[in-house]
Amino acid sequence: MPRLILGIFLLLTALLLAGCNGSRETDEIAYITAVGIDSAPEGKIKVSYRIAQPAALAGEAGKGGGGGRTTEVLGIVAPSLAIARDELGASVARVPNLAHIKAIVIGEDLARQGLGDSLGPLMRFREFRGSMFILVAKGTTAEQVLRQNKPIIEKLPSRFVEGMMENASVTGGYHMQTFFHHFYLRLKAAGGAPIATLIGVNPLTEEDQPSAGPTSPEKSYEYLPEKLPRTAGNPATLLGVAIFYHGSMVGVLTDEETRMLSILVNEFERGFITIEDPLEPSRGINVLMRPGSSPRIDTAFVDGRAVVRIHILMEGEVTSIGSGINYEDGEYRTLLENQISQLFELEMTQMLRHTQEVNADVANLSKYFRPHFARYQDFRSIDWDNLYSQMDIQVEVETKIRRFGLMRNTAPLRGKE
């Protein structure tokens, strides 16, 4: 008899273990998919929430497909993120849930003031996680970025950000997948500076405002998100990264600089370059580049100075030769390979010099010095920030053209034989 009672009791218990702990339906919860944080007067912050509307996504029963806006943006000025979360209850008749946040967007003003105090405590609260993406709103506020993020293809703005981040390494490396985890890790660890992808609101006016001219022999200009000449589509644009020193934003890397950084940290998978034709510089050659191996980084201390030697092997596939010169041929091929190597060396050295000027070790080169130390406290005692600015960094790039697309050689155009 007791066993029978126990068995029935356990069966009833199993019914109660279905997982509905909060006793709340989906339409009673405000699922927040992105948070924007801007500075506000009197030391306060303006927190913007993008709240998903599951009903609009699902559509009414039997109709299939959603109708109306799938998300709403609300802004609240508060002394802290925690108070803002509770004050959200003043205008939303649902219980806020932050566990589904995909991205935290920080306004540039606040990022320049410093993020250590605002972001550090986030890791303590269970609804935030390290796998959220962190972005900096370039040239605008985080609230504007959330409001202007109007994807054309994706249903949800959060899906847009997630898709952009997931594809960063295969779409040219012009922005990077910046997890909150890595940002926080760099704030705490000895050496290494935090970075966050830049997101801007593009006016979509096609106005060309490059941040820098092309680095010869490259053909393309350098851009930041709000200045990329483009039309139509989603005004929200991800390009470049913000660089930080001790939690404060101290500068930005343009799209080309960001690509160099992603190659250096081995996050670059493939991307095109358009390079001047070595024999006919007015013409361009398109090459699909990808890393041939992980970068080899050797470190040493020479006369008290930190020396870093970086060796990068890039592989290329030529996809277009404007001049019609037969670069498939051995000698010409070497000429082209040297041209590309020279370009990458130059761009990478410039990018590193730029970060050295602001003491921001964005590629975390200091970690390659760890094998030189036996104990943690010895490594930690080094002033890596200042050491980074003094580092002697030598970059060597080797390029191998592996393929020439679907053409084995280039026959001359009629009249140009």
Rounding to the nearest 10 degrees, give the CA dihedral for residues 337, 339, 342, 347. -110
Q: Cβ 189 to other proteins, closest distance in Å?
A: 5
x/- map, 98-117, other proteins, by CB under 8 A: -x------------------
Shortest distance, position 260 Cβ to other proteins, whole Å: 20
Residue 179 lies near other proteins (rule: CB under 8 A): yes
Confirm if 366 and 384 have CB atoms less than 8 A apart.
Answer: yes
Task: Give the C-alpha separation, 211 to 40, whole Å.
Answer: 29
- Best CA proximity match to 365, nearest among 380, 341, 387, 342: 387
Q: Are 315 and 290 in contact (CB under 8 A)?
A: yes
- Closest to 49 in 3D by CA, of 77, 78, 76: 76
Q: Is 367 in the site for other proteins (CB under 8 A)?
A: yes
- Choose the binding region for other proteins from 59-67, 107-115, 143-151, 377-385 (rule: CB under 8 A): 377-385
Asked if 374 interacts with other proteins (CB under 8 A), we say: yes
Q: Of the two residues 129 and 270, which places its CB atom closer to other proteins in the complex? A: 129
Site for other proteins (CB under 8 A): which residue of 43, 371, 408, 413?
A: 371
Q: Is 379 in the site for other proteins (CB under 8 A)?
A: yes
Choice between 163 and 251, CB closer to other proteins:
163
Near other proteins by CB under 8 A: residue from 44, 94, 181, 230: 181
Tokens of 94: 């649902």
Structure tokens at 363: 């590629």
Does 373 help bind other proteins (rule: CB under 8 A)? Answer: yes
Distance of closest approach, residue 378 Cβ to other proteins, in angstroms: 7
Q: Is 58 in the site for other proteins (CB under 8 A)?
A: no
Whether residue 196 contacts residue 242, with contact meaning beta carbons closer than 8 Å, is answered with yes
Instruction: Please tell me whether residue 301 binds other proteins under the rule CB under 8 A.
Output: no
Pick the piece of the chain touching other proteins (CB under 8 A) from 85-93, 183-191, 316-324, 390-398. Answer: 183-191
Residue 55 makes contact with other proteins by CB under 8 A:
no
Q: Which residues is 315 bridged to in the sheet?
A: 290, 400
Number of neighbouring beta carbons within 10 Å of residue 162: 17
Q: Residue 383 interacts with other proteins (CB under 8 A)?
A: no
Q: Which of 74, 77, 78, 190 binds other proteins (CB under 8 A)?
A: 190
Residue 399 CB, shortest distance to other proteins, in Å, is: 27
15 is a contact residue toward other proteins (CB under 8 A): no
Instruction: Quote the CA–CA distance of 116 and 308 in Å, as a whole number.
Output: 29
Question: Interface with other proteins includes 89 (CB under 8 A)?
Answer: no
Beta bridge partners of 249: 244
What is the C-alpha separation between 77 and 84, in angstroms, rounded? Answer: 7
Determine the Cα–Cα distance for residues 89 and 29; give it in Å rounded to an integer: 11
- Euclidean distance between CA atoms 265 and 262, whole angstroms: 5
Regarding 377 and contact with other proteins (CB under 8 A), the answer is: yes
Q: What distance in Å separates the CA atoms of residue 417 and residue 407, rounded to the nearest whole number?
A: 18
88 DSSP 8-state letter: G
In angstroms, the CA 179 to CA 282 distance is 41
- Distance from C-alpha of 203 to C-alpha of 235, rounded to nearest angstrom: 7
The piece of 34-42, 216-224, 347-355, 372-380 that touches other proteins (CB under 8 A) is 372-380
Q: Output the CA torsion sign for 260, 266, 268, 269.
A: positive
Q: How far is the CB of 414 from other proteins (least distance, A)?
A: 50
Each residue 143-162 as x (binds other proteins by CB under 8 A) or -, in order, gives ----------------x--x
Number of residues that bind other proteins (CB under 8 A): 31
Q: Where along the sequence are the contacts to other proteins (CB under 8 A)?
A: 6, 10, 21-22, 99, 126, 129-131, 159, 162-163, 166, 179, 181, 184-185, 188-190, 367-368, 370-371, 373-379
